[in-house]
Structure 1
């Protein structure tokens, strides 16, 4: 027993000695500064925005602490110190101290914000030298990018005004200014296209340009562009000429502004040798086919001193069977205005036939003037509309009493976003004595159109009932009367809106597009009840329309089905379309 106690005591003494030995050994390593530390960047690149509000710390790591310290030299290139950035060391080249056993040293860099629009700046930060117990490692370069935060300014280009007048005999060029709404950072180009009845090289020139389409080059930071035009003077009396300049394309830091087109009028400066002749602007320009002989008047700018011959050329949809000049069907037709006249006129006889036809157009144009008058510059052409008087009365009636299905009758059902049962549409039914009579809205008939839906009083679902019934095409035009009878049921749960439409635009596509239809009127159960029409009592709807071509009629029933408005019923009968 004593031997074991002695053994245990020896073991404990040994363990204490071993721990002391380890501690002393570690202390000896911590106090060993005879080694060399290697300095490196831990990353190869960084970036920061130009308008950063705080400096960014750049760390340089030392790979071990067994060194006696020293210094690390740093150089920064690639941008301008004091303009693009600053450092905590106050320079773009500096030395950092590293303490004995130190594992890190650092400095900070702060981009300098400005309003200049420029490219990103890339700085190269290099560890150039080390002293003392330090050396430079392999990762001695760091790329630091300063990101530009200023967007380039894009300028909108536009003419100063939409119109401008210059004189034909102007002695100096006129400058056409194109101001920008702001400075353009990058500049660009402006392409301008020239049109109008003025001829380049004959009526005007564009200084420095030889083609009707030309390009202006805009330098960076510009606020305007311009070009010069010069009218070419002559001694010929003629109408004012126009030049239309249009900005058709821009590039670079430019966009097209609010006035991209300018019309320049070149005003004539020459006096006519004779009085001028024009059509009288007060002439009547629309006649019925049965108007007989009409008079077309002319205005003269002065009294003629010699007889003048006027040549009229006719065009349009008319032909020689529709009119004549006092029996003459010549085209062109010539007539004379005698000397001493201050006005002139020509008689035209309109032919009244029995042919049903579209309205016709007769265009008269002064194409030649000789003798004591010259062609005017105000109104050299006038158009006359001849309205047909042989229209056949149009009469469409559908009372649905044949029992023929709607598709065969030419009707079409369209679902318009309907979410209830798609079979619930306006349909043809038989219900003896429950429809209106074709000749008396208060009479009865057995067949008609019915729209019925009932979701049940306990429904908790919100759905949409919305369908349209489109009529056959009506091959007619002009003033029309549209008549249809309708009735309702379930006043307290029927919130549907019935809308009546007509359309010349619909093409039978089977899709309802509201913009293609014109509303004739609307109806609701509440409105009919307020007018004294009770459940199942018919009201005759009457509308007047004026289509200019073939058209359709449509009935639309639309209701949101929910717990309060859970059912609806509408009946329609006796669609009539009559010309007035």
Structure 2
């Protein structure tokens, strides 16, 4: 209805048509002319006005309390609500529910985060931040015939141009709605209607598949507006953008009541109401008609029967109160509370206990075949009840809708393991193993279980495991009490400190009392997974190599040999100025990829190595460092404390094209100093007033001074610093103009 009754938003911007009184009058004309029994409305922003309009036209109403950010009291937003208006003489509300409400509350409280990993902007944006589907179950009365129909009012996530993220959100939203409808309302009369914000043929966003494609392709639903969409019809127009956004989809159970060809876009209002899209709504109404008049009743011909096990196949008869001109279908299911299992009987043509019976055209009777099974189960008198659970839309289900069959037999219980496998950690402690029987025995029964140890597995208090009851001569015996349908025995796994392969113990039902049969699921394998890990560390923490050292082996040590191959991921960090690669400072084997190298530890090994090859260059540079850190390991390993290894690469190059201090071109005096004055002796061609830059390096490549000035100034600065220098050898480099000079100085 385009912000019906709204004036302006919290920022003063106009919402919807500017003339609210005209919008009200136009909406009244639309409702009056349509004369619909039920109206589904979206974008209602003024409760007072819509309720006044409903009262003037004789409609009752029901409204949803869920709209965008209705859960956030801090937001001062004008709402867009979902409403139903209905004629009380035709329909009454049986139930109403905001669908997915509890799920959305849980999502906002941090649950189901995994489901929203790929959901743009996060789970709080689900269904347009809370504008959830609103379901109302109406009971309609047409010609004194009552029928139930559930209408789901939608206003889905809107689009934003070609932004695919909105399409992704809406697709997730409506498919989760479908999952809920399929799970909880299968076979019901369902109508899904409203502002889909998408077409059902092809999406309005980038011609992607429709976000409602799952509904269109499911035979349990029928999109009534699909054929209109294929003709190029549209309900929304803004400038040059035209799209079909407003739709009606029904369940297959309701499709039979649809009056063919009645689906309509009510475009007559474009001519009967001046400026409809600007004064009333930017969406056109869409309507459909349904015939909910009297339908015949289907019942069972008889309510009960008693049949002996092994009796011949026979017909269970259904009766219609009036014949129909076309064939009809009736669905029969097994009612809850049956004491007989599906193994005790066979329904011809049934799937999972459900059979669909076809009533021929113009017939008033139909039947399905039932055969009682002659089985070998321990059983007293049993009963199974069949119930009419669904039917064609042209039928109703009568009161005599159940048929109870009584069956008697006494034979043998079938014993099986409840599960065939289980995996437990070595420190799991006690594990319960369950044996099930399909029917409770009349007296106590004994069941013998043979126990087979896998390779390397031993039994006992100081071994790998024990059991209760204990194993004797390779067997354990459990007693199944009378009336019980299950019995358990315990397996206690003993935790040790050995790194070892996974171990297996197999339990097999080999014998039982005469009143118990061994079923097919007679073996149970318990896998004990080792919880001990090998600890991996670097064999040494540091190493220094010359730039021309070639290949250096780096060793990783393990305190225990793993039983299977493991992987160690090592993060590699280059120090300042260090580069990796064939033309860089070093390479590794295996190679570094994305800052990591991965080393494989073979099964049974207690160490593994990788290589670092240092590339010899001609650059004059300081010492360089590369750090290797054990970043992660596979499940069978743990990272020890010695997880870092630092490789220092010492330079072996001397500058070229630089004046040689040994030839008297540049020197310091004295060359061995302890403090006091140091004199810089440069060639006479270097003017005393020339700008000179001096850099002093330690033998580790660390820059300890970097000053600029005249010869006198930098000499003074050097003298001021000498007494603070640590003992050692220092390289002094001087640049002036285009000339370079170097010499060394020894600090005692």
Q: TM-score range by the shorter chain?
A: 0.3 to 0.5
Structure ranking higher on relative contact order (CA contacts 8 Å, 6+ apart): 1
TM, length-normalised to structure 2: 0.28
Of the two, which has the highest radius of gyration? 1
Q: Which has the higher strand share?
A: 1
TM, length-normalised to structure 1: 0.34
Q: Which has the higher helix share?
A: 2
